[in-house]
Amino acid sequence: MNRRRRLCSIAGTLWLFAAASGAAPSDEGDEQALLADADYAAGLSALKANDPASALRRFQAALKRFPEAADLHNELGYTSRKLGRLDQAFGHYKRALAIDPRHRGAHEYIGEAYLMTGDVASAEKHLAALRSICTLPCEEMRDLQAAIDAHRRGTPPR
């Protein structure tokens, strides 16, 4: 999984689109505003610094302002997973997918969470969803496929 690389990449593009997002349709605003949110940004930084406890606090603070942000639920899912709270992780991933059924990251990460519980069939369902969502092969699909393959080989998930 290339989660750390993705986190760096997201943080690196925060500055760019604060200034250069251009005109966006009416319903674009929430996701972009989340990127500009101080708690969300601090949560991402805490995750990069391998401090999931701090990340959880900051993401939960951001959740009060952005209760319907799929990305935020996805990050909360990952953070909960890092803290060993799998039930909460599943709750957030499912919420992310209820808000945005085509959320590629949430499909990948919930699939990987299922692998942690040994539920390969459910992971495969999310891989199938990614195959349908990504018309062209996408990073999330490749990563979940690799995680399933590794699980089958008995290699522990990264």
Determine, following the binding rule CB under 8 A, whether residue 117 of this chain makes contact with another protein. Answer: no
Which has the closest alpha carbon to 11: 73, 57, 66, 75? 75
The nearest distance, CB 120 to another protein, in angstroms, is: 28
Answer for which of 1, 2, 3, 31 binds another protein (CB under 8 A) is: 31
CA distances from 88 to 106, 110, 115 (A): 14, 12, 16
| 65-73, 79-87, 88-96, 112-120 -> range binding another protein (CB under 8 A) | 65-73
| Rounded Cα distance, 93 and 85, in Å | 12
Q: Is 57 in the site for another protein (CB under 8 A)?
A: no
Helix (H, G, I), strand (E, B) or coil at 49: coil
Single-letter amino acid, residue 51 = D
Instruction: Kindly tell me which of 16 and 121 has the beta carbon lying closer to another protein.
Output: 16
Near another protein in 32-51, by CB under 8 A:
32-35, 37
Helix 86-99 to helix 70-82 angle (10° resolution) is: 170
- Residues near another protein (CB under 8 A) are 6, 9-10, 13-14, 16-17, 19-35, 37, 65-66, 71, 135-136
